[in-house]
Chains A and B, each alone.
Chain A
Amino acid sequence: MKINVDWDKCTGMGMCESLAPDVFEVDDDGSLILHAEEVPDGQEDEVREAVAACPTEALSLES
C-alpha cells in the first residue's frame, strides 16, 4: 500500500506521527517527513489509524 500526502492540506499537525512514528515525523518547522513511501509490513493498522486521525484529511492510502 502506498501512502499519499496532499502537501497543500498538511499543516504539520503531527497526529500521524503520534500513531505511526516509523512512517511519519514532523520537523521543527512543522513540515512532515515521510520515512516510508509504502506501508511497512505489520504496520497497516497504525498507518490506517494515522490516516483517519489527520485533522486536515491530508493522508490517503492507495493499494
Chain B
Amino acid sequence: MTHLVVVGASLAGLRAVEAVRGDGFDGTVTLVGAEEHLPYDRPPLSKEYLAADECPDPRYREHATFADDLDVELVLGTPASALDTSARTVTVGDRSISYDGLVIATGAHARALPGTEGLAGVHVVRTLDDAIGLRGALRDGNRKVTVVGAGFIGSEVAAVARSLDLEVTILEALDTPLVRAIGERMGRALTRLHERHGTEVRTGVAVDEVLHDDGRVRAVRLGDGTELDTDLLVVGIGAQPTTGWLEGSGLTVDDGVVADARLAAAPGVYVAGDVARWPNALFDDVLDGPMRLEHWTSAAEQGRYAARNAVDPENAKAYETVPYFWSDWYASRVQFVGVAAGDHVEVVAGDDADGGPFTALYRANDRIVGALAVDMRAEVMKYRRLIGRREGWDAALALAAERREQAAAKAAEAKAAAAETTAQDGARA
C-alpha cells in the first residue's frame, strides 16, 4: 500500500487521514475536497455559529497541521468527478489521481425546495458558506422567519431565531415531526419544546408555492391556499448523500454507497460518514437492512475504520455501533442513542408531556434498542452501554429504577440540607 486517497475533506475524511498517520502509515496520503475551506465542524453551524455574537472558528485544524504534522497533500476547491475502480483512479478537474486504497467520504448535501433556486432570502444550512449567509440574514432586520421542515437542523435554526427575538413559524408536511428519527410519541414531546418557547409549529401542511418579488422571497402559499408572509425562508427538508460523481463507477448506490460490514464497497474502496450505507451488526435482529447515519460520532469513527481497512485490507475490521446524536434546542439538550425501532416506548424518568426533562427507552425484540433524553445528561450514556451489550428490556428497567432511587435520595439529601440551613438561620435570628 503506497497511496491512500480520501475523497471528501470534512469530518470523516479528516479522521481517516489522521488515523492512518497516527498508526505510522508512511505512504502518500491525498485528501480531496470540493470546498475551498479546510475541514470544519458542521454541528455548530446551526447552533453557536448562528447564535453567538462572536463567531467561533469552526475549522478543525490549521493548514500547517496537514502539511507538517500529517504530511497530507490537500487538493481543495474542485470536486472529484469520476471513479474508475478497475484502473484505480479518481478524476479531479483535469487531474487523474491513482490510488492503492480509496476512502469515499463525500457526505451529504442539503435538499433544496423546488422553485426556490436563486431566490434571495431562502437559506439551507449544510456548509460554512450557508451558515455565513444565514447568520447575516438573521441580523439584517428581517423579522419573520419561516422554517420548512421540523427536523433537527430546522428546529435548531428555529430555536436560534427565537433567541434573537424573531417571529418563527415551522411548517411540517407530516402530522408529527421527527417520526422516522424518534417515533411518534417522542416527536410530539419535542414539538412541545418549540411551543414552550413561542415558536409556532404547523404540522400536516404542504408548501405549494414560494412567492417572491424581484427575486426575493415574500410569502409561502400552503396547500389549503393560505398565504404566509415571511422575510426569510429556511429550508430544512433533509440531506441527500453525495453520490452523483460515482455514476458509472460500478459501485452500488442506493440512498448512499452500499458497503459491507467492513465498510468495503469494492476492492480497495471503503466508505465513511453520511454517504455510507452499511450493515450494523448490533441491530441485525431489528433492522431490515443496511443503515445510513447522518451523525457526527459515526462519521468520525467510520473515517478511522475505513482508512485503516483501506491501507490494511487483510486485517480489515467490521464496524458496528450504537448510533448517537445530540441536538440543542433553546437551552435544552436532546440526546438520542441507538435506533428508534420497536414496539414500545417507555418514559422512565421525568415527564414528556411538557417537553422534558425526561428519559424515554425504546424496546424491540424484548431488548433495549434506543434511548432519548431531554436535559438528562447523566442518563443517556448509561443506556448506551446496555444497548451495546444487547441487554434485555428487564435490565434496562432495572437500571431506570436504580437511577430513580438515586435521584430521590439525592433530592431528599438536598432538601434536608436546605432545611438545616433554614433552621440555622432561624436560630441565628
B-binding residues in A (CB < 8 A)? 11-15, 17-18, 21, 25-30, 52-53, 55, 57
Contacts and interface: CB of A to CB of B under 8 A. Distances in A.
B194 interface: no
A33 to B, nearest CB: 10
Contacts of A57: 60
B112 interface: no
Contact of A15 (B304, B324, B388): B324
Contacts of A11: 333
Contact of A14 (B296, B304, B381): B381
B326 A13 contact: yes
Interface string B386-417: 00100000000000000000010000000000
B183 interface: no
B46 to A, nearest CB: 14
Contacts, number: 51
Contact of B381 (A17, A28, A52, A55): A17
Nearest to B48: A11
Interface residues of B, number: 24
Contacts of A25: 378
B377 A55 contact: no
Given A15-B324, A18-B385, A53 B378 contact: no
Contacts of A52: 15, 300-301, 304
B292 interface: no
Contact of A26 (B15, B60, B337, B378): B378
Contact of A18 (B60, B300, B304, B381): B381
A15 B297 contact: yes
Interface in B5-22: 15
Contact of B377 (A21, A28, A53): A28
Given A21-B385, A53-B297, A14 B43 contact: no
A15 B15 CA distance: 17
B380 interface: yes
Contacts of A26: 377-378, 381
A26 B297 CA distance: 18
B296 A18 contact: no
B188 to A, nearest CB: 25
B377 A29 contact: yes
Nearest to A11: B333
Contacts of A21: 381, 385
B335 interface: yes
18 contacts: A13-B335, A14-B377, A14-B380, A17-B381, A18-B337, A18-B381, A18-B385, A21-B385, A25-B378, A26-B381, A27-B378, A28-B377, A28-B407, A30-B333, A30-B377, A30-B378, A55-B297, A55-B326
B402 to A, nearest CB: 15
B262 interface: no
Q: Which of B304, B376, B377, B380 has the most CB of A within 10 A?
A: B377
A55 B382 CA distance: 18
Contacts of B376: 28
A15 B43 contact: no
A24 to B, nearest CB: 9
Nearest to A17: B381
A14 B335 contact: yes
Given A12-B333, A29-B377, A55-B326, 10 more contacts: A11-B333, A12-B377, A14-B377, A14-B378, A18-B384, A28-B378, A30-B377, A52-B301, A52-B304, A53-B301
A21 B333 CA distance: 21
Contacts of B333: 11-12, 30
